[in-house]
């Protein structure tokens, strides 16, 4: 029998669950690298999932605590979908996925445990779902979060600078 070690999961399993909304709390701390926040927009932000389904698993979240799509105003909706496109581009540049799963967590039973709507982007590769999660009930994430963060953060910065120049906004 082979053993696969994933000791970082124990932190999540044993961690005392807080009542606070992580999507409200994490951005308020101003510790983006530690909290895996890749980009802050005016109305929304992009962060990595600390317990990803695959490398590069991102979440796009409105800054304002919203429970559903109908609660988002026009500017929040517009920026959220713009960051969805930017995130996909950054993932393509950094990790070369062959596809994506994109979903929205709405409501507690829909996965938005804190009652804060958020979008998920999960990069996919041929063979990323194999016998391990099915038979072994084990998911392998092949890169440290800090390494993936650095690659994605650089791609976000480069892509957004390029877009700003194209729109005639100059340098930021």
Residue 5 lies in a domain: no
Residue 1 lies in a domain: no
Residue 135 lies in a domain: yes
Catalytic residues: 118
Residue 22 lies in a domain: yes
Cβ atoms of 38 and 156 closer than 8 Å: yes
User: How many domains in the chain?
Assistant: 1
Q: 10-residue block means of pLDDT along the chain (172 residues)?
A: 62 68 89 94 94 90 92 95 95 94 86 82 82 53 80 82 69 43
Residue 172 lies in a domain: no
Q: What is the CATH number of the domain that holds 122?
A: 3.30.428.10
Q: What is the residue-wise DSSP string for 57-125?
A: -EEEEESS--SSGGG--HHHHHHHHHHHHHHHHHHHHHH--SEEEEEEE-SGGGT-TTS--EEEEEEE-
Residue 11 lies in a domain: no
Residue 44 lies in a domain: yes
Provide the residue range defining the domain that includes 46.
18-161
pLDDT tens for 76-115 read 999 999 999 999 999 999 999 999 999 998 887 777 666 8
């Amino acid at each position: 029998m082979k053993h696969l070690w994933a000791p970082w999961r124990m932190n999540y399993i044993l961690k005392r669950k807080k009542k606070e909304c992580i999507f409200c709390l994490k951005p308020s701390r101003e510790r983006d690298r530690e909290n895996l926040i890749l980009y802050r927009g005016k109305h929304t932000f992009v962060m990595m999932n600390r317990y990803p389904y695959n490398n590069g698993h991102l979440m796009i979240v409105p800054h304002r605590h919203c429970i559903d799509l109908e609660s988002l105003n026009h500017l929040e909706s517009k920026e959220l979908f713009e960051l969805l496109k930017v995130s996909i581009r950054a993932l393509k540049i950094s990790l070369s996925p062959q596809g994506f799963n994109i979903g929205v967590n709405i409501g507690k039973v829909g996965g938005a445990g804190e009652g804060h709507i958020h979008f998920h982007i999960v990069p996919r590769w041929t063979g990323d779902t194999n016998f391990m999660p099915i038979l072994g009930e084990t998911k392998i994430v092949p890169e440290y979060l800090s390494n993936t963060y650095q690659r994605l953060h650089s791609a976000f910065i480069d892509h957004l600078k390029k877009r700003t120049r194209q729109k005639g906004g100059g340098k930021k």
